A and B are shown apart, each in its own frame.
Chain A
């Protein structure tokens, strides 16, 4: 059972801005940095945001991450068809001594 909670799905039209929330606790998001992963069907996840708000090279700049307290968010501004995928937040959990993933959010471009 995931300890990080995300909405099951978000959707928007091309060009719209959407955000994905990730709710945790003091032992995970409250104490450690957050990563976000993008996963296309049938493929391995790819690191999309690291250390709360950093983008690896090659990740489009219309993606941005943020963290406040025990929650984090991934924003997609200027939604594009290729942004359709599943997105997972993740962080280390000091109480569990393990890495925890969010429940995952499916982004749909209408």
Chain B
């Protein structure tokens, strides 16, 4: 079965950087786009970014453009999110999620990881 395991979260000061990873198993990782979605404490879901199955295109929500970079290594079945210039309002649980349809990201995600908490605080 599909398994997605996020790691890399923690407590970081404003302005610093953090890299999240998402290890995938139980699927042909290189066939699927991948999303990052976050959820601030007590708040709703917010889509953050998506990367195509082959990494050829990436889209971001406006609030993270220029600060966050999504990437993937299909040889390692791993998704990444490099987060720079972190702000207090980036504090959230970050979920990686697999795109539902092969080679298409517009249909949204189906399987989700358990999430990793990022806390930005001085």
Contacts and interface: CB of A to CB of B under 8 A. Distances in A.
Interface of A: 2, 32-33, 35, 37, 39, 43-47, 50-51, 56, 86, 88, 90-92, 96-104
Interface in B35-74: 35, 37, 44-47, 50, 59-62
A44 B108 contact: no
B23 to A, nearest CB: 15
B95 A44 contact: yes
Contacts of A32: 106
A101 B47 contact: yes
A44 B115 contact: yes
Contact of A51 (B46, B105, B107, B113): B107
A50 B100 contact: yes
A35 to B, nearest CB: 5
A98 B44 contact: no
Interface string B89-122: 0000001000010000111111111110000000
Contacts of B61: 96, 98
Contacts, number: 65
B60 A50 contact: no
Determine which residue in B105, B109, B114 has the highest number of CB atoms from chain A within 10 A of its CB, and name it: B109
A37 B45 contact: yes
A90 B50 contact: no
B110 A50 contact: yes
Contact of A103 (B44, B113, B114): B44
Given A45-B95, A47-B100, A99-B50, A2 B107 contact: no
A43 B45 CA distance: 12
B24 to A, nearest CB: 14
28 contacts: A2-B44, A2-B46, A35-B108, A37-B45, A39-B45, A44-B95, A44-B112, A44-B114, A45-B45, A45-B95, A47-B109, A47-B111, A50-B100, A50-B108, A51-B107, A86-B44, A90-B45, A90-B47, A92-B106, A96-B62, A98-B60, A99-B35, A99-B109, A100-B47, A101-B46, A101-B47, A102-B44, A104-B44
